[in-house]
């Protein structure tokens, strides 16, 4: 039965299109849906006679509150639903796993001489994005190939065409036009940028045709060095083209989508995509989709298409799918609106297009099996490492939650501590915590600092602070007998005892508070690899925080006295560069490109920083 609050809201629902959001007792959004008629759709969930699936029944049981958003038409509802699902990742929705770890290539078209760089997010700006790529290895291999074939800025720096340095080796190798030295012809450079865009989109034939004409023209004008460079570039592009497989005689751009569900009960599926450009297969990617349990395959494909193309950098002329779904017409209209041209969604039943979908399905099966095998191997190693560690430390069972602490300072100043958490062998960054050391001494004292941070952490656990109320099965401190002794003293002071050990850097020995001799794990031990990984992560997290504290203090003192740089510009510089060291090493042109800055103020900042270096 719906709660009284929901019953009242059901009475007020409009007969209009829109999106509805269901929330649980904690206020977390657990499901987002859309409807042409909000009143009929939302009320259908709470009808006693409704024949819901087990998944929907569980959803209804967990609904404690609801909201809705009214829009003008079904297309607007579709766009809003995609945005809300991506933002909130509701538990009961089919979800395309967050793609933040997939790299993109970005052509920085907003700069005078665009660069090709790697980014983790495709933004809605005037730059051009390509991807996502399945791995960092793939994206950096592509960058190296582009560097070899096209004379874009290879060093990654921003230049405006004015001479600021001598040309580097890339210029003398013919792999850069040297805008850094003022030698680059902007027309020629932008032509190379266009070639890079066509190349990354799989349109190499256009590049070959233009390069061949330019090469012949240069040879006729007796510009033999330029003709030779064009010839080498032509051969490189042609070599790439020969490696691509012709799989369609339509010579149009297509995305081929296939899906395979995981039948092991994980509630997930693997979606395989082939990217066909001009009839040639230029790449492929696979994606994990979560929350697919008890959902029809057509519904899973439908949700994937909506979420994938919501932020896709390119929409092809044709999309091939394994089966029809309910919202095919409205999604096709939405894609046509996004592209500004005709987009067709087809479910082929025979011929070459059907074979393409079948080939994608076979690849999806192999990708899913490979991922499952990798997960099984990883879990096996983690379980082995935890059991070895428990045996070495004399613990009654494998430690499910391990916390590791490290201290960081700069000659006794800006003292901080880190707490990282490993759960079931995996680092859980949401549980990481950091501390500023409160005690102030003339000399750094890592022992006393360790005692302070362990004391504070355990006091918060006893006070049932939600951020610290999960008591670990094992605490690791970065250090040897001294750090362990002080951590043990903290536990006695708080009267809360947790299994404890220290990991000393020099020989990677483990120290227990009750043992005089260290525990020496075998060098090839999975347990040793695990504790080293945890300790190194604690060290990284502590050093990162300490650098932030130090830079914040340093930035404040360095930028405060610069004429013309007020609070707004100081904040803009800090956000743009991230660290004082990067502000120091930035050129005048790079400083001028920061928000709120101009060339005149950039020159003042540059001069001040180098006078006070």
Domain identity same for 141 and 174: yes
Domain identity same for 274 and 360: yes
Confidence of residue 101 (pLDDT cuts 50, 70, 90): low
Task: Map residue 568 onto helix, strand or coil.
Answer: helix
pLDDT digits (tens, 9 = 90+) for 51-67: 788 888 889 989 999 99
- Closest among 392, 405, 463, 394 to 432, alpha carbons compared: 405
Identify the residue with better confidence: 351 or 133. Answer: 351
Q: Which of 63, 93, 123 is the last residue of a domain?
A: 93
Strand positions, DSSP E, 359-505:
401-410, 413-423, 426-427, 433-436, 474-478, 500-503
Residue holding tokens 């989109």? Answer: 201
The four Cα atoms 338, 340, 341, 344 give a dihedral, to 10 degrees, of: 20
Domain identity same for 232 and 259: no
In this predicted structure, what is the pLDDT of residue 567? 78
In this predicted structure, what is the pLDDT of residue 486? 95
Strand positions, DSSP E, 218-279:
245-246, 254-261, 268-277
In this predicted structure, what is the pLDDT of residue 492? 94
How many residues in the chain? Answer: 613
In this predicted structure, what is the pLDDT of residue 520? 92
Domain identity same for 275 and 351: yes
pLDDT digits (tens, 9 = 90+) for 476-505: 999 999 999 999 999 999 999 999 999 988
Contact 50, 44 (CB under 8 A): yes
Task: Map residue 146 onto helix, strand or coil.
Answer: helix
Q: Give the CATH number of the domain where residue 413 resides.
A: 3.30.420.340
The domain containing residue 567 runs over which residues?
Answer: 560-611
Mean of pLDDT values over 448-465: 94
Domain identity same for 76 and 159: no
In this predicted structure, what is the pLDDT of residue 248? 57
Q: What is the DSSP letter of 519?
A: B
Domain identity same for 113 and 221: yes
Task: Map residue 511 onto helix, strand or coil.
Answer: strand
Displacement of CA 124 from its chain's centroid (Å): 16
CA distance 115 to 184: 14
Least-confidence region, from 287-301, 466-480, 494-508:
287-301
pLDDT digits (tens, 9 = 90+) for 89-100: 898 998 876 544
- Closest among 236, 263, 513, 225 to 393, alpha carbons compared: 513
Domain identity same for 116 and 224: yes
The rounded mean pLDDT for the chain is 85
Number of domains in the chain: 5
Domain identity same for 484 and 526: yes
Q: Give the CATH number of the domain where residue 334 resides.
A: 3.30.420
Phi/psi class of residue 497: alpha, beta or left (left: φ > 0; alpha: ψ in -120 to 50)? beta
Q: Which of 369, 389, 410 is the last residue of a domain?
A: 369
- Closest among 269, 322, 308 to 291, alpha carbons compared: 269
pLDDT digits (tens, 9 = 90+) for 184-208: 888 889 988 988 888 777 776 767 7
- 555 lies in some domain: no
Domain identity same for 324 and 233: no
In this predicted structure, what is the pLDDT of residue 554? 60
Identify the residue with better confidence: 611 or 289. Answer: 289
In this predicted structure, what is the pLDDT of residue 242? 53
Domain identity same for 406 and 543: yes
pLDDT digits (tens, 9 = 90+) for 350-399: 888 888 888 888 888 888 888 777 777 777 788 889 999 999 999 999 99
Confidence of residue 580 (pLDDT cuts 50, 70, 90): confident
Per-residue pLDDT at 459 exceeds 90 = yes
Instruction: Kindly report the three-state secondary structure assignment for every residue of 29-83.
Output: EEEEEEECCHHHHHHHCCCCCCCCCHHHHHHHHCCCEEEEEECCCHHHHHHHHHH
Domain identity same for 485 and 569: no
Mean of pLDDT values over 338-356: 89
- 386 lies in some domain: no
- 381 lies in some domain: no
Q: How many other C-beta atoms are found inside a 10 Å radius of the C-beta of residue 324?
A: 12
Q: How far is CA 37 from CA 67, 94, 203, 581, in A?
A: 15, 22, 44, 56
Q: Please name every residue paired with 23 in a beta bridge, in sequence order, or none if there are none.
A: 29, 65
In this predicted structure, what is the pLDDT of residue 42? 92
Contact 584, 570 (CB under 8 A): no
Q: Which residues make Cβ contacts (< 8 Å) with residue 501, sequence separation at least 6?
A: 393, 474, 475, 476, 477, 484, 510, 511, 512, 519
- 351 lies in some domain: yes
Q: How far is CA 417 from CA 432, 434, 457, 481, 544, in A?
A: 11, 6, 11, 18, 10
Residue holding tokens 């949700």? Answer: 303
In this predicted structure, what is the pLDDT of residue 461? 93
Q: Please name every residue paired with 34 in a beta bridge, in sequence order, or none if there are none.
A: 19
Domain identity same for 412 and 517: yes
Per-residue pLDDT at 442 exceeds 70 = no
> CA 248, 249, 251 angle in degrees (round to 5)?
85
Q: Which of 516, 547, 578 is the last residue of a domain?
A: 547
In this predicted structure, what is the pLDDT of residue 485? 94
Displacement of CA 546 from its chain's centroid (Å): 24
Mean of pLDDT values over 291-317: 86
In this predicted structure, what is the pLDDT of residue 273? 87
Confidence of residue 556 (pLDDT cuts 50, 70, 90): low
Phi/psi class of residue 422: alpha, beta or left (left: φ > 0; alpha: ψ in -120 to 50)? beta
Strand positions, DSSP E, 383-498:
401-410, 413-423, 426-427, 433-436, 474-478
- 129 lies in some domain: yes
In this predicted structure, what is the pLDDT of residue 144? 81
- 469 lies in some domain: yes
Q: What is the DSSP letter of 390?
A: H
- 553 lies in some domain: no
- Closest among 569, 578, 575 to 598, alpha carbons compared: 569
- Burial classification of residue 454, based on how many CB atoms lie within 10 Å of its CB (0-12 exposed, 13-18 middle, 19 or more buried): buried
Q: Please name every residue paired with 67 in a beta bridge, in sequence order, or none if there are none.
A: 21
Per-residue pLDDT at 237 exceeds 70 = no
Q: Give the CATH number of the domain where residue 589 resides.
A: 1.10.150.20
- 389 lies in some domain: no
pLDDT digits (tens, 9 = 90+) for 1-25: 677 788 888 888 999 999 999 999 8
Q: Which residues make Cβ contacts (< 8 Å) with residue 464, sequence separation at least 6?
A: none
Exposure b/e, 35-47, CB count within 10 A at least 16 = b = beebbebbeebee
Percent of the chain with pLDDT over 70: 92
- Closest among 118, 119, 114, 222 to 177, alpha carbons compared: 114
CA distance 429 to 420: 7
């Amino acid at each position: 039965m719906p709660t009284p609050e929901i019953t009242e809201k059901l009475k007020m629902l409009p007969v209009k299109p829109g999106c509805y959001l269901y929330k649980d007792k904690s206020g977390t959004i657990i499901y987002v849906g859309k409807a042409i008629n909000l009143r009929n759709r939302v009320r259908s969930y709470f009808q006693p006679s409704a024949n819901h699936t087990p998944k929907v029944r569980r959803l209804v049981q967990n609904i404690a509150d609801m909201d809705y958003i009214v829009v003008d038409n079904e297309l607007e509802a579709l766009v809003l639903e995609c945005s809300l699902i991506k933002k909130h990742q509701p538990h009961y929705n089919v979800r395309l796993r967050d793609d933040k770890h997939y790299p993109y290539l970005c052509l920085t078209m907003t700069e005078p001489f665009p660069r090709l760089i790697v980014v983790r997010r495709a933004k809605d700006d005037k730059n051009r994005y390509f991807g996502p790529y399945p791995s960092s290895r793939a994206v950096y291999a592509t960058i190296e190939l582009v560097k070899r074939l096209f004379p874009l800025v290879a060093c990654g720096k921003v230049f405006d065409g004015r001479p600021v340095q001598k040309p580097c080796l890339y210029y003398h190798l013919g792999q850069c036009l040297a805008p850094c030295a003022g030698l680059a012809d902007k027309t020629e450079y932008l032509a190379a940028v266009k070639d890079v865009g066509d190349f990354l989109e799989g349109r190499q034939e256009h590049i070959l045709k233009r390069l061949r004409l330019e090469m012949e023209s240069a040879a006729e004008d007796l510009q033999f060095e330029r003709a030779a460079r064009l010839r080498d570039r032509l051969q490189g592009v042609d070599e790439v083209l020969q490696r691509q497989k012709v799989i369609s005689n339509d010579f149009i751009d297509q995305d081929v989508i296939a899906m395979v569900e995981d039948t092991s009960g994980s509630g997930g599926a693997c979606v395989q995509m082939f990217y066909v450009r001009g009839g040639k297969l230029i790449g492929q990617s696979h994606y994990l989709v979560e929350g697919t349990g008890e959902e029809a395959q057509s519904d899973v494909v439908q949700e994937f298409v909506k979420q994938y193309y919501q932020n896709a950098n390119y929409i092809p002329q044709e999309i091939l799918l394994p089966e029809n779904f309910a919202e095919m017409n409205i999604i096709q209209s939405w894609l046509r609106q996004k592209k500004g041209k005709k987009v067709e969604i087809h479910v082929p039943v025979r011929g070459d297009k059907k074979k393409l979908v079948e080939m994608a399905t076979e690849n999806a099966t192999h990708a899913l099996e490979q991922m499952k095998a990798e997960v099984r191997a990883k879990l096996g190693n983690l379980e082995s490492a935890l059991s070895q560690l428990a045996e070495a430390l004399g613990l009654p069972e494998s430690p499910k939650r391990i916390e590791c602490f490290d201290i960081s300072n700069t000659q006794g100043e800006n003292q901080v501590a880190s707490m990282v958490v490993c759960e079931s062998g995996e680092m859980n960054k949401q549980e990481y915590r950091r501390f500023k050391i409160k005690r102030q001494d003339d000399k750094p004292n890592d022992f006393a600092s360790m005692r302070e941070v362990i004391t504070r952490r355990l006091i918060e656990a006893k006070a049932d602070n939600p951020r610290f109320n999960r008591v670990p099965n094992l605490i690791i401190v970065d250090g040897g007998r001294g750090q362990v002794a002080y951590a043990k003293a903290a536990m006695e002071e708080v009267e809360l005892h947790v299994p404890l050990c220290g990991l000393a850097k020099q020989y990677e020995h483990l120290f227990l508070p009750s043992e005089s001799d260290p525990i020496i794990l075998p060098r090839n031990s999975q347990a040793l690899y695990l504790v080293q990984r945890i300790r190194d992560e604690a060290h990284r997290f502590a050093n990162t925080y300490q650098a932030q504290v130090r830079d914040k203090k340093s930035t404040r003192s360095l930028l405060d006295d610069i004429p013309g740089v007020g609070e707004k510009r100081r904040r803009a510089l800090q956000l743009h560069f991230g660290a004082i060291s990067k502000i120091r090493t930035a050129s005048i042109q790079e400083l001028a490109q920061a928000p709120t800055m101009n060339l005149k103020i950039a020159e003042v900042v540059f001069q001040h920083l180098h006078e006070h270096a």
